[in-house]
């Protein structure tokens, strides 16, 4: 009973709502977005979906805009990437560790609809071109909204699909106004300066030195802006590895080389980041189309939507998923990922953003609310053909969510029949839910109870391509039958009661209380695109909207659904115009919203009297209020988990973030409890356990779950979170999550970058991360002998000291290493190094160590092959040998760093004739890092490839995995905790890191010079 049950809410609210007036189109709108359901956690970079969107409307031909997903590098080396799924911007570290998120999905100030490109300035400000928002947003380095400008139009300073943005050193902001075929220049304050025309469908932009660059998706050319003139650098149209098929973005490195993110959506799939010289000569590609679509490798790409190059030559590429067809691209975030490549093309780091994780809505096309208030959301996942040429949406399912929007369970089959395509859903309100689906045998309707149990199948062969399905108040069903362009009336048991043809393809319908129907009709862009009110026998009563698609008053593009509002207006989701249109009963337009939503689809009333609307483009459900309904005086809370499932290793600690949105008109205090059901050994806690939340505000608590050791993969701990309201202590809202014991993840070997100086030696640990039950490891490391000279190789610390280590460096340009435990030793879990390689840097620039032939053994018995992933290790060699000089004095709590001074936590002291200092300030001043593990009282120091591990009270330390005495002449010289401060022997630490230490006894002054002269 998706919409007819909502009519009861309509009647109840009639007197309480503000009736829109009949004045100006915009002033009368009383539709307000109040929530978004399905947004993934803050560290998840979302991607758009295009399955039913048509992008070839004559007045808004946006096909060349998909997918665009810009990337930029901040002055501090952090990486910025656009989130086109959830309308936000993510900031990650240079090695792709998530740091923070900026913005949110919407049309308000600082919100984003389709952030297509991003740029940064020297102060760390972030600039975003919002394609569907038709605006530019500037965020401060702290994420605050500094300014935004632009609106839809063709005039000066207006936009129709801004797809690229660049900021030059003088503060000028350049915007690629794609659908207007032009570039626009603005001042640093957003004032329009000039327009540059003559560029066909300009896409991504960047700046290099004083000049902005833009790539054209219309003619596959790269342009450089010189003054107010666009100078073509080169053009390379075509479908080949060295040509540009469908350009999305570009970047320019320090040498003038040009990197073009080519989506490769033509007949020949050739996606890659293609590198051209400054004069346009093709040089190489980063990433390539997968050789095997069933085994896609980390460095392979399907549809790269953004690219950026860091000053050190590292290349960051956002693969936006898989999209096909250059003229009308369809696709999704299938295998979406952010990849860091070394300059030579090796993969350094990868962040995957899988679309099949629990809680992610994939292409939601319909929604219904059952008698429990649960949301049944029709979804579909893409299936790629074996040859990689086509994408089909024939993996349908229904995600069932609780009232707060948390996933409860998924429905994927109807008895023995798989639902290859799920098209629509309706709820009866009497405990049954109807799902219209297709399989190889044809169309049918599957019936379920509200717990998701399959009941029966009806109407097999009577429905075909059910675009929408509704229940009437008498318990019968109505279906939009797109197979033959008809509306079908069915009894509850599937018996056909009637059928009538429609003037176009029926795309959505609503059953009115008197039995009449509102049916959305589609056609080509010049046909139909209207809503028709029919009698139950198919007699036309009224037509709403002008015939033919368009964006003018009363025109629509693919209206997806129509609803009767409480005040008697008829609301239509004008899908591909990204807006809503309200008609009076006589067919005239009452009001039209701005183009603030893309893509509004099917609609239904919630149990609270709000309106749910599907958004397949952003993979979310939007919730709207209409008029001015007052907030309830009693308890009303939305309890939303950041994720409904964590996959972790046995013995781990994991956390769920729980948001408590107070929808009551009154302040409320919530008491939160958590319970884990999974057997003995599980425990959980909530912090804080009580939180007071103002009306309309959101509070947050964290549920921490401790997982027992020794659990086998696949074991599940069920987490129940109970929220009790102080306004109504009898009101308890419970949400559910799961902790799943994962199988061991692949062991990642390599991937950590290093920096040194020309002529210096550098120690490069061959790091292994995420090892679980590892017994032995081996691999080959290759390097460029012109850039690096091999010096030595030593055993790493990953497996401890009682190990067998083998190495072979007899072949120029490669080193083979193997490290294994002995005999019946128990496999090891954790992080550490397999080996430590030492090189001398021969020439300036960024080179890399590549790892292959990786072999890993472990598991039960230590003899099973383990999965692993090899990562390249970038080595940046600086030409200048800059040195840092530190001066300390015993008893003084300050330290000179060059010409500056800093305050120490504690003054240096002399113990056992050796100087001990608070080491963090010393190491960080040299550019290193210090990590303190309180549990083991261990200090780990990292600086330019050297790793030290010291333990409080221990007279020996590990230097790159090798045990060394802290002081060879006095075993009493050890790290200590003095006055609650960790103090380490300065000379041992500094000299182990490669620094020179000088002692002036008369003044008790220590001078540290790094690197050693």
Q: What are phi and psi of 391, to 5 degrees?
A: -125, 130
Most distant pair of Cα atoms in the chain: their distance:
107
Instruction: Tell me the pLDDT tens digit for each residue of 233-249.
Output: 999 999 999 999 999 99
| pTM score of the predicted model | 0.87
Over residues 33-42, the mean pLDDT reads 96
Q: What are phi and psi of 978, to 5 degrees?
A: -120, 125
On the question of pLDDT at 778 being above 80, the answer is yes
CA distance linking residue 739 with residue 790, whole number of Å = 46
Least confidently predicted of 16-20, 163-167, 648-652, 1003-1007: 16-20
pLDDT of residue 228: 86
CA distance linking residue 252 with residue 734, whole number of Å = 52
On the question of pLDDT at 386 being above 90, the answer is no
CATH-assigned architecture of domain 747-875: Sandwich (2.60)
Strand order in the sheet with 229-235: 202-208, 211-216, 221-226, 229-235
Instruction: Tell me the pLDDT tens digit for each residue of 174-207.
Output: 999 999 999 999 999 999 999 999 999 999 999 9
3-state SS of 764-806 is EEEEEEEEEEEEEEEEEEECCCCCEEEEEEEECCCCCCCEEEE
The confidence band for 462, taking pLDDT boundaries of 50, 70 and 90, is very high
Domains 364-626 and 884-1010 share a fold: no
pLDDT of residue 19: 31
CA distance linking residue 200 with residue 613, whole number of Å = 35
**CATH code of the domain occupying 637-741:** 2.60.40.10
On the question of pLDDT at 524 being above 70, the answer is no
On the question of pLDDT at 390 being above 80, the answer is no
The closest alpha carbon to 54, from 325, 326, 334, 330, belongs to 330
CB 578 within 8 A of CB 561: no
CA distance linking residue 724 with residue 732, whole number of Å = 5
Tally of CB atoms within 10 A around 635: 22
**CATH code of the domain occupying 105-352:** 2.120.10.30
Least confidently predicted of 484-498, 662-676, 687-701, 918-932: 918-932
CA distance linking residue 599 with residue 615, whole number of Å = 5
CA distance linking residue 248 with residue 318, whole number of Å = 11
The confidence band for 881, taking pLDDT boundaries of 50, 70 and 90, is low
CB 305 within 8 A of CB 319: yes
Q: Phi/psi class of residue 917: alpha, beta or left (left: φ > 0; alpha: ψ in -120 to 50)?
A: beta
Instruction: Tell me the pLDDT tens digit for each residue of 896-923.
Output: 998 888 999 899 999 999 999 999 999 9
What's the mean pLDDT when you consider all of the chain?
92
Residue written as token pair 């300066």: 193
CB 480 within 8 A of CB 487: yes
Strand duo 315-319 + 304-309: pairing: antiparallel
User: 275 has which bridge partners?
Assistant: 259, 284
pLDDT of residue 12: 38
Question: Which CATH number among 2.120.10.30, 3.30.1390.20, 1.10.260.40, 2.40.10.120 corresponds to the domain 364-626?
Answer: 2.120.10.30
On the question of pLDDT at 882 being above 90, the answer is no
pLDDT of residue 55: 66
The confidence band for 38, taking pLDDT boundaries of 50, 70 and 90, is very high
On the question of pLDDT at 139 being above 80, the answer is yes
pLDDT of residue 53: 66
**CATH code of the domain occupying 884-1010:** 3.30.457.10
CA distance linking residue 199 with residue 949, whole number of Å = 58
Domain residue limits, the chain: 105-352, 364-626, 637-741, 747-875, 884-1010
CB 665 within 8 A of CB 633: yes
3-state SS assignment for residue 5 = helix
On the question of pLDDT at 8 being above 60, the answer is no
On the question of pLDDT at 14 being above 60, the answer is no
Tokens standing for residue 825: 């030793």
3-state SS assignment for residue 865 = strand
CA distance linking residue 572 with residue 289, whole number of Å = 41
């Amino acid at each position: 009973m998706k919409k007819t049950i909502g009519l009861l809410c309509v009647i109840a609210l009639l007197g309480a709502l503000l009736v829109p007036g009949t004045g100006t189109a915009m002033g009368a709108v009383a539709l307000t977005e109040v929530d978004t359901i399905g947004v993934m956690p803050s560290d998840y970079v979302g991607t758009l979906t295009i399955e039913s969107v048509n992008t070839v409307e004559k007045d808004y031909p946006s096909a060349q805009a998909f997918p665009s997903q810009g990337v930029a590098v901040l002055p501090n080396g952090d990486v910025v990437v656009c989130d086109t799924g959830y309308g936000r911007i993510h900031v990650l570290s240079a090695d792709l560790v998530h740091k923070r998120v900026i913005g949110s999905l919407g049309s308000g100030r600082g919100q984003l609809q389709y952030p297509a490109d991003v740029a940064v300035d020297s102060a760390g400000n972030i600039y975003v071109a919002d394609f569907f928002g038709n605006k530019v947003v500037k965020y401060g380095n702290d994420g605050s909204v500094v300014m935004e400008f632009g609106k839809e139009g063709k005039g000066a300073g207006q936009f129709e699909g801004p797809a690229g943005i660049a900021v030059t050193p003088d503060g000028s902001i350049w915007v690629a106004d794609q659908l207007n075929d032009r570039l626009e220049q603005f001042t640093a304050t957003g004032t329009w300066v000039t327009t540059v025309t003559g560029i066909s469908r300009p896409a991504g932009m960047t700046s290099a030195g004083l000049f902005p660059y833009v790539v054209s998706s219309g003619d596959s050319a790269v342009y450089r802006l010189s003054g107010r003139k666009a100078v073509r650098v080169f053009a390379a149209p075509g479908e080949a590895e060295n040509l540009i098929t469908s350009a999305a973005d570009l970047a320019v490195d320090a040498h003038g080389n040009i990197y073009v993110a080519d989506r490769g959506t033509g007949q020949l799939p050739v996606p890659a980041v293609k590198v051209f010289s400054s004069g346009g000569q093709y040089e190489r590609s980063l990433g390539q189309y997968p050789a095997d679509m069933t085994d896609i490798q980390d460095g392979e790409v399907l549809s790269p939507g953004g690219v950026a190059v860091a000053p050190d030559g590292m290349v960051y590429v956002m693969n936006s998923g898989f999209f096909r067809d250059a003229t009308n691209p369809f696709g999704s975030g299938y295998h979406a990922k952010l990849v860091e490549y070394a300059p030579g093309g090796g993969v350094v780091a990868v962040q995957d953003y899988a679309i099949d994780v629990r809680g992610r809505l994939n292409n939601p096309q319909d929604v219904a609310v059952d008698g429990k208030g649960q949301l049944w959301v029709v979804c579909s996942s893409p299936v790629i053909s074996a040859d990689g040429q086509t994408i089909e949406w024939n993996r349908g399912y229904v995600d069932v969510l609780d009232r707060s929007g948390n996933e409860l369970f998924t429905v994927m089959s109807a008895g023995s029949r798989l639902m290859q395509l799920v098209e629509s859903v309706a709820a009866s309100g009497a405990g049954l839910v109807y799902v219209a689906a297709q399989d190889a045998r044809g169309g049918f309707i599957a019936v379920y109870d509200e717990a998701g149990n399959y009941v029966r199948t009806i109407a097999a062969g009577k429905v075909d391509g059910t675009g929408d399905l509704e229940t009437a108040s008498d318990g019968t069903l109505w279906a939009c039958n797109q197979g033959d362009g008809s509306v079908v009336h069915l009894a509850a048991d599937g018996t056909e009661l009637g059928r009538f043809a429609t003037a176009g393809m029926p795309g959505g319908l609503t059953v009115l209380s008197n039995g009449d129907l509102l049916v959305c009709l589609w056609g080509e862009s010049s046909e139909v695109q209207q809503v028709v009110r029919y009698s139950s026998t198919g007699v036309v009563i009224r037509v709403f909207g002008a015939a033919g698609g368009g964006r003018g008053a009363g025109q629509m593009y693919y209206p997806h659904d129509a609803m009767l509002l409480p005040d008697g207006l008829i609301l239509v989701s004008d899908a591909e115009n990204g807006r809503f249109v309200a008609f009076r009963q006589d067919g005239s337009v009452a009001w039209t919203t701005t183009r603030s939503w893309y893509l509004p689809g099917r609609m239904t009333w919630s149990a609270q009297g709000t309106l749910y609307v599907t958004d397949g483009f952003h993979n979310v459900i939007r919730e709207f209020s209409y008029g001015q309904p007052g907030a309830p005086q009693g308890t009303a809370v939305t309890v939303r988990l950041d994720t409904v499932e964590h996959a972790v290793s046995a013995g781990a600690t994991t956390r769920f973030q729980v948001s408590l949105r107070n929808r009551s008109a009154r302040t409320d205090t919530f008491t939160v409890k958590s319970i884990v059901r999974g057997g003995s050994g599980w425990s959980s806690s909530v912090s804080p356990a009580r939180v007071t939340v103002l009306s309309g505000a959101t509070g947050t608590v964290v549920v921490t779950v401790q997982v027992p050791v020794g659990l086998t993969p696949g074991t599940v701990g069920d987490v129940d979170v109970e929220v009790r309201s102080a306004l109504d202590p009898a009101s308890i809202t419970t949400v559910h999550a799961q902790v799943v014991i994962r199988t061991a993840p692949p062991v990642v070997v390599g991937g950590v970058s290093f920096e040194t100086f020309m002529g210096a030696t550098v120690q490069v640990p061959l790091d292994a991360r995420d090892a679980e039950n590892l017994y032995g490891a081996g691999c080959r490391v290759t390097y460029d002998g012109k850039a690096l000279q091999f010096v030595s190789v030593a055993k790493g610390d990953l497996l401890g000291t009682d190990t067998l280590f083998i190495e072979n460096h007899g072949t120029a340009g490669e080193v083979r290493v193997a490290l294994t435990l002995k005999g019946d030793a128990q496999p090891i879990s954790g992080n550490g190094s397999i080996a430590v390689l030492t090189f001398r840097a021969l020439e300036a620039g960024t080179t890399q160590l590549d790892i292959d032939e990786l072999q890993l053994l472990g598991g039960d018995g230590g003899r099973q092959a383990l999965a692993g992933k090899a990562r390249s290790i970038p080595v940046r060699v600086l030409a200048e040998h800059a040195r840092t000089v530190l001066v300390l004095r015993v008893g003084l709590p300050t330290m000179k760093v060059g010409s500056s001074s800093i305050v120490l936590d504690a003054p240096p002291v002399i113990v056992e004739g050796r100087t001990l200092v608070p080491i963090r300030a010393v190491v960080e001043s040299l550019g290193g890092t210090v990590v303190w593990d309180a549990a083991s009282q261990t200090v780990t120091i990292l600086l330019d490839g050297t790793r030290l591990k010291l333990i409080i009270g221990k007279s020996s330390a590990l230097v790159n995995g090798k045990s060394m005495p802290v002081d060879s002449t006095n075993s009493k010289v050890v790290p200590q905790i003095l006055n609650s401060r960790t103090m380490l022997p300065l000379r041992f630490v500094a000299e182990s890191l490669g620094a020179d230490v000088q002692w002036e006894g008369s003044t008790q002054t220590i001078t540290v010079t790094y690197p050693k002269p």
